[in-house]
Amino acid sequence: MTVPVRVVFLGPPGAGKGTQAKQLAEHFEVPHVASGDLFRKHQVENTELGQLAKRYMERGELVPDGVTISMVLERLQEPDAANGYILDGFPRTLEQARALDKALAEHQRSIDRTPLLQVDTEELVRRLAGRWLCSKCQRPYHEVTAPPKEKGICDVCGGELMQRADDQPDVVRKRLQTYEEQTAPLVGYYKEQGKLRTVNGDQAIEDVGRDLISAMME
């Protein structure tokens, strides 16, 4: 096939979606569009949407579909997304997936590939507990498996690293439950469309990246 340009990443919290989506976006030279990052940006800017999203995010629940769909579809209309994008964290419900498909169909387009990163629950919890994130560019690090070159500083943009409030163990448990209840059904949705590609996310970051690229070209 030709290079897949419209990609939806699936996988539970901590599976490595952000880590891999950023690298894949660089590889295919398309933007990385992460709904969680967009909500966190709204919170930093203290917009009305940011305040609303915060109430759901700190409880490990999903932000309502209506505002989420509008926010992401608006982002996908920006010029840099004209030739494709790597979506990370969206869609997360069947309603969001159907809205995305409908918006794309209006322009005779569709999602090309949906990689699913599979990782054991215990490993997910361990990853989220040790995660640090750049406060400027949102690049994820891990204190053991993916540390920055200089403690507390982003290798790429020099931003300060911080921990996410929703990485506290009780919120992580709720996020995992929310994933099982509301997002896991998307696996069947994309499988039926023939777009799902399952990748073992429980390997070194470079090995996951290599397997992802070959799975995307199948």
Which residues does the annotation mark as catalytic? Answer: 17, 92, 131, 164, 175
Crossing angle for the helix pair 169-178 and 121-129, to the nearest 10 degrees? 140
Establish if 62 lies at the interface with ligand AP5 (CB under 6 A): yes
For residue 114, CA distances in Å to 53, 107, 132 come to: 25, 20, 26
* Comparison of 39 and 190: residue with beta carbon closer to ligand AP5: 39
Residue 83 gets the label, from left (phi > 0), alpha (psi -120 to 50) or beta, of: alpha
Rule CB under 6 A: which of 72-91 touch ligand AP5?
Answer: 89-90
Which class for 164: exposed (0-12), middle (13-18), buried (19 or more C-beta within 10 A)? middle
* Comparison of 96 and 114: residue with beta carbon closer to ligand AP5: 96
Establish if 36 lies at the interface with ligand AP5 (CB under 6 A): yes
Establish if 57 lies at the interface with ligand AP5 (CB under 6 A): yes
* Comparison of 30 and 208: residue with beta carbon closer to ligand AP5: 208
Residue 98 has phi, psi (to 5 degrees) of: -70, -40
Least separation in angstroms between CB 68 and ligand AP5: 4
Establish if 15 lies at the interface with ligand AP5 (CB under 6 A): yes
* C-alpha angle 10-113-179 in degrees, rounded to nearest 5: 15
Establish if 131 lies at the interface with ligand AP5 (CB under 6 A): yes
Q: What is the DSSP letter of 146?
A: B
All residues at 6 or more sequence positions from 126 whose CB lies less than 8 Å from its CB, including other chains: none
How many Å apart are CA 133 and CA 18, to the nearest integer?
10
Rule CB under 6 A: which of 151-180 touch ligand AP5?
Answer: 166, 175
Binding span for ligand AP5 by CB under 6 A among 54-62, 101-109, 151-159, 187-195 = 54-62
Question: Which residues of this protein are in contact with ligand AP5, per CB under 6 A?
Answer: 11, 13-19, 35-36, 39, 56-57, 60-63, 68, 89-90, 92, 96, 127-128, 130-131, 140-142, 145-146, 166, 175, 201, 205, 208
